[in-house]
Amino acid sequence: MVERRGLSRVIPHIVLLAGLLLVGFPIAIALIASSHTAADLVGHFPATFGSHLIDNYRHVLLAGSTNKGAPVATMLWNSLVMALGISIGKIVISIASAYAIVYFRFPLRGLCFWLIFVTLMLPVQVRILPTYQVVADLHMLDSYSGLIVPLIASATATFLFRQFFFTLPDELLEAARIDGAGPLRFFWDMVLPLSRTTIAALFVVEFIYGWNLYLWPLIVTTRENMSTIVMGIQHMVVVADQTPSWNWIMATAVLAILPPLLVVIFMQRQFVKSFVEPEK
Partner 1 sequence: MIERRAVFSHRWLPIALVAPQLAVTAVFFLWPAYETVVSAFYVQGAFGGSEHFVGLHNFTALWDNASYLHSFGITLIFSAATTLLALSVSLLLAVNANRALRGAKVYQALLAWPYAVAPAIAGVLWLFMLNPSVGLLARALDGLGVPWDFRVNGTQAMVLVVMASAWRQIAYNFLFFLAALQSVPSSLIEAAAIDGAGPIRRFWTIVFPLLSPTTFFLLVIDLVYSFFETFGVIDTVTQGGPANATNILVYQVFETGFVGLDLGGSAAQSVVLMLFIIGLTVLQFRFIEGRVRY
Site for partner 1 in 93-152 (CB under 8 A): 93-94, 96-97, 99-106, 109-110, 112-113, 115-116, 118-123, 125-131, 133-135, 149-152
Does residue number 160 form part of the binding site for partner 1 (CB under 8 A)? no
Residues 28-57 that bind partner 1 (CB under 8 A): 29-30, 33, 41-42, 45
Q: How far is the CB of 110 from partner 1 (least distance, A)?
A: 8
Whose Cβ is closer to partner 1: residue 77's or residue 113's?
113
Whose Cβ is closer to partner 1: residue 44's or residue 193's?
44
Does residue number 267 form part of the binding site for partner 1 (CB under 8 A)? no
Number of residues that bind partner 1 (CB under 8 A): 103
Q: How far is the CB of 3 from partner 1 (least distance, A)?
A: 6
Contacts 24+ apart (CB under 8 A), 168-175: 168/194, 173/103
d(CA 196, CA 199) in angstroms, rounded, equals 5
Residues 56-75 that bind partner 1 (CB under 8 A): none
Collapsed DSSP state (helix, strand, coil) of residue 253:
helix
Distances (CA, A) of 78 to 57, 206, 223, 254: 18, 16, 12, 17
Does residue number 21 form part of the binding site for partner 1 (CB under 8 A)? no
Distances (CA, A) of 51 to 56, 112, 245: 10, 59, 17
Q: How far is the CB of 48 from partner 1 (least distance, A)?
A: 14
Q: How far is the CB of 53 from partner 1 (least distance, A)?
A: 17
Does residue number 196 form part of the binding site for partner 1 (CB under 8 A)? no
Does residue number 153 form part of the binding site for partner 1 (CB under 8 A)? yes
d(CA 95, CA 159) in angstroms, rounded, equals 9
Does residue number 245 form part of the binding site for partner 1 (CB under 8 A)? no
* CB environment 181-203: b (16+ within 10 A), e (fewer): beeeebbeebbeeebeebbbbbb
Distances (CA, A) of 252 to 75, 196, 236: 10, 34, 9
Q: How far is the CB of 62 from partner 1 (least distance, A)?
A: 21
Q: How far is the CB of 131 from partner 1 (least distance, A)?
A: 4
d(CA 188, CA 177) in angstroms, rounded, equals 14
Cβ–Cβ under 8 Å, residues 230 and 213? yes
